[in-house]
Amino acid sequence: MKICSKCVLPETFPGISFNGEGVCNYCLSFGGMEGINREKVKYRQKFEDLIARCSKGSGYECLVCFSGGKDSTYTLDLLKNHYGLRVLAVTMDNGFISPVAIENIRRMVEGVGVDHIFFKPRFDLLKQIFARSATEVFYSGKTLQRASSICTSCISIVKFVALRIAIEQEIPFVGYGWSPGQAPIQSSVMRTNPSLIRAAQKSVQVPLVERFGREVNHYFLEEHHFKKTDFFPYNIHPLAFLEYNETEIYKRLGEFGWVRPEDTDPNSTNCLLNTYANYVHQQQFGYNPYAFEIAKMVREGVMSREEGLGRFEDPPQSEQLNIIKRRLGI
Ligand SMILES: [Zn+2]
């Protein structure tokens, strides 16, 4: 398997080509860190200006999508303790949270000092969604270049459930712990609006309703939510514009007693389903669904190429895959 000599993208990645030195077209079109650093300053300032103008009522100022994994945990701490926002943390229990991560979640909401909601969608429905996401392609090719189909189903429910709560409670910010590889800096401080959200929702809700019926509708916005145009929140992912250093993140989380689970794959610090989701994606498309984001982090110097390649080394244990398949009824 040919792999880019600069990043970690394999020859199986869609649209890839290599020059004579084995450098991929994604690396060749990378404009360097100067532009990114300028953007970082700009978006950080934009966020800080918005906070300063934020209403001083008694409600929550920021809902954080908190998975218990290292990045969203660190984001939770930043938004509460660095930015001083009144935070509501929301965790979706997809039925596959590592027991160690469950402990981390409890420890962190207590340690950081935030209100917290554990939201558990019906597992009979979720497991059908995950099982069919594994065998059928129902999202666009572009979406699937950056995340497995199982992850896309799961995270979409998280996003729209969070947005529903934010609109209903008039919370001005929804915070995510996307790593710098997972989302572009240009979307790190972005006001949502009804037409944008309607289009995004349609791309997920339609395929899900077609397959699983109207039961899934209450994880999405309804017509009355779209009418509350003034209360569409800003989506923010501060790890894009703040310093992202994994060693520092682990050190900070360790101060709260956060422990890295040992039963998850190298690209997750909370979810046991991820191993299976990655395995299925690899089988279907011939590359790991984390390849794109890890390549971006290698290109931007967040991690070394060796470290990046190391994230793909551990093949999943068949015993582990069988446990997940049984739980999904496959
Ligand atoms: Zn490359």
Q: What is the 3-state secondary structure (H, E, C) of 151-213?
A: HHHHHHHHHHHHHHHHHHCCCCEEECCCCCCCCCHHHCEEECCHHHHHHHHHHHHHHHHHHHC
Of the two residues 63 and 313, the one the predictor is more confident about is 63
Question: From CA 300, how far away is CA 318, in angstroms rounded?
Answer: 34
Of the two residues 4 and 266, the one the predictor is more confident about is 4
The CA 17 to ligand 1 mean position distance, Å, reads 9
The CA 324 to ligand 1 mean position distance, Å, reads 33
**Domain-wise residue ranges, the chain:** 1-30, 34-328
The CA 200 to ligand 1 mean position distance, Å, reads 29
The helix/strand/coil state of 65 is: strand
The CA 128 to ligand 1 mean position distance, Å, reads 37
The CA 99 to ligand 1 mean position distance, Å, reads 36
The CA 18 to ligand 1 mean position distance, Å, reads 8
Cβ burial of 284 (10 Å; 0-12, 13-18, 19+) is middle
- Structural tokens at position 304: 């070394």
The CA 85 to ligand 1 mean position distance, Å, reads 38
Question: From CA 293, how far away is CA 311, in angstroms rounded?
Answer: 11
The CA 198 to ligand 1 mean position distance, Å, reads 34
The CA 12 to ligand 1 mean position distance, Å, reads 12
Query: Per-residue confidence at 40, pLDDT binned at 50, 70, 90?
Result: very high
- CATH superfamily membership of 34-328: HUPs (3.40.50.620)
Beta-bridge partner residues of 189: 236
Query: Per-residue confidence at 314, pLDDT binned at 50, 70, 90?
Result: confident
Query: Per-residue confidence at 317, pLDDT binned at 50, 70, 90?
Result: confident
The CA 313 to ligand 1 mean position distance, Å, reads 18
Per-residue pLDDT for 291 more than 90? yes
Taking only the tens place, the pLDDT of each residue in 254-266 is 999 999 999 898 8
The CA 25 to ligand 1 mean position distance, Å, reads 7
Query: Per-residue confidence at 37, pLDDT binned at 50, 70, 90?
Result: very high
Question: From CA 40, how far away is CA 190, in angstroms rounded?
Answer: 14
Phi-psi region of 15 (alpha: psi -120 to 50; beta: other; left: phi over 0): left
The CA 237 to ligand 1 mean position distance, Å, reads 25
pTM for the structure as a whole:
0.95
